[in-house]
Chains A and B, each alone.
Chain A
């Protein structure tokens, strides 16, 4: 049995009167890669943001590594250290160099020694193929490079789980591959990942489970081949044909 990393039970989230997540249930085991798909507005980002507590749920349970996280009593900053997040628009710290971006949280949050943190940061930048960009400011990077820095920055906190919210949607098509390759490598190393993406090739190759979301609910789920080749629900079929 693999260890359970994320368990979500009956998760509810509303913005005012708008019910964005309606009783969502999801389990993610260690080293699993779960790909979330679904139309824009179906609640994918909100689900990821709830897992990282950037949004606070209105109901249900979120269990991270066996421990139920109650936003009122838990130190969310500690939980977030275990759950890294990569955003569609990178969100690199604009006034810091690539190296400083990667070192910031380990030094300021974990009080790591600067020399140690720099060494680790350089190893991570090497891993994402950007060691030559260490002293460059984000504005000078291509979208694909920015996103790889963002991945390195999240990994610097040594998270157990990584969340990706449409990491390649803002990229020029020719830059998508380099980011997906980095993510694939991470998956192969055994990182537990939840990925919102419409890159079906990536999902087929890397995902253990594909989850189709519609209207704030999980409409259908299965292995990539089940979901892509034999979707049971009409909505899933419609959605898949709309994105192919």
Chain B
């Protein structure tokens, strides 16, 4: 049942197929995290703006995303966007981006608020407008602090992208399930796909650690 030689055989044999799925998973994750970072930044700025209506919008958005299962969100995006002629890939990407965005908004809000408020005052006292001070002084410092939790969110996003298999996107997990049921060898394919995710996560963790070291070099 747990035959390592067999698993290795299947691993080598299925390698080209999984590579296609891996590519889709990576694209999906990177795109949804990038868009999610943009969304998260906007909503974080809404939350700290001190403008009531913007606070409200951000709070409602975050409550909706956090309060509902991701799979429901993905299906809503899939059926909603399909009507507009948007592909399964992009509906999944938007769904995951909106989902990641809510969590990233909280990450950014925390990291922006952790920057000493004297930094904003110093900028303002020099005649720098709020937006300019935010962009030039606060956000660069906040981004640096947000990096570890952002890396964490990237890993969560990578694993969450497996839910896109439910809307018929041939990413990693969907390849494992289709191959598994085709060959009646589900367990082997599940172990293999688990390995792919594990290696991706480990590689990415290394990358984030390197980036953090590099960024903290200056100060």
- A interface vs B, CB < 8 Å? 52, 54, 77-78, 80-81, 83-85, 87, 89-95, 104-105, 108-109, 137-139, 150, 153-154, 157
Contact = CB atoms under 8 A, between A and B. Distances in A.
Contacts of B132: 108-109
5 contacts: A89-B118, A93-B122, A108-B128, A108-B136, A157-B126
A87 B121 contact: yes
B69 interface: no
B49 interface: no
Nearest to A138: B219
B126 A80 contact: yes
Contact of A80 (B116, B119, B124, B144): B124
B119 A77 contact: no
A104 B118 contact: no
A198 B205 CA distance: 52
A54 B124 contact: yes
Given A81-B126, A95-B137, A105-B128, 11 more contacts: A54-B125, A80-B126, A80-B127, A83-B125, A87-B118, A91-B116, A93-B123, A93-B137, A95-B218, A95-B219, A138-B219
B140 interface: yes
A137 B119 contact: no
Contacts of A78: 127
B129 interface: yes
A137 B126 CA distance: 19
Contacts of A137: 218-219
Contacts of A87: 118, 121-122, 125
Contacts of A157: 126-127
Contacts of B123: 93, 105
A4 B98 CA distance: 56
A154 B122 CA distance: 9
Interface residues of B, number: 20
Contacts of B121: 54, 87, 91
Q: Across the A-B interface, give the 5 residue pairs with the lowest CB-CB distance, nearest first.
A: A81-B127, A91-B118, A91-B122, A105-B126, A85-B125
Nearest to A109: B127
A84 B119 CA distance: 15
Contacts of B126: 80-81, 84, 104-105, 109, 153-154, 157
A52 B119 contact: no
B141 interface: yes
A91 B124 CA distance: 11
B118 to A, nearest CB: 4
A153 B118 CA distance: 15
A94 B141 contact: yes
Contacts of A94: 119, 141, 219
A109 B118 contact: no
B214 to A, nearest CB: 14
Contacts of B116: 91
Among B119, B125, B132, the one with the most A-chain Cβ atoms within 10 Å of its Cβ is B125
Contacts of A81: 126-127
B125 A154 contact: yes
A90 to B, nearest CB: 8
A224 B124 CA distance: 32
A78 B125 CA distance: 10
B128 A84 contact: no
Contacts of B128: 77, 104-105, 108-109
A87 to B, nearest CB: 6
Nearest to A93: B137
Given A87-B121, A137-B219, A105 B140 contact: no
Nearest to A163: B125
A190 to B, nearest CB: 21
A138 B118 CA distance: 14
B111 to A, nearest CB: 13
Nearest to B127: A81
Residue from A84, A89, A91 with most neighbouring chain B CB atoms (10 Å): A91
Nearest to A110: B127
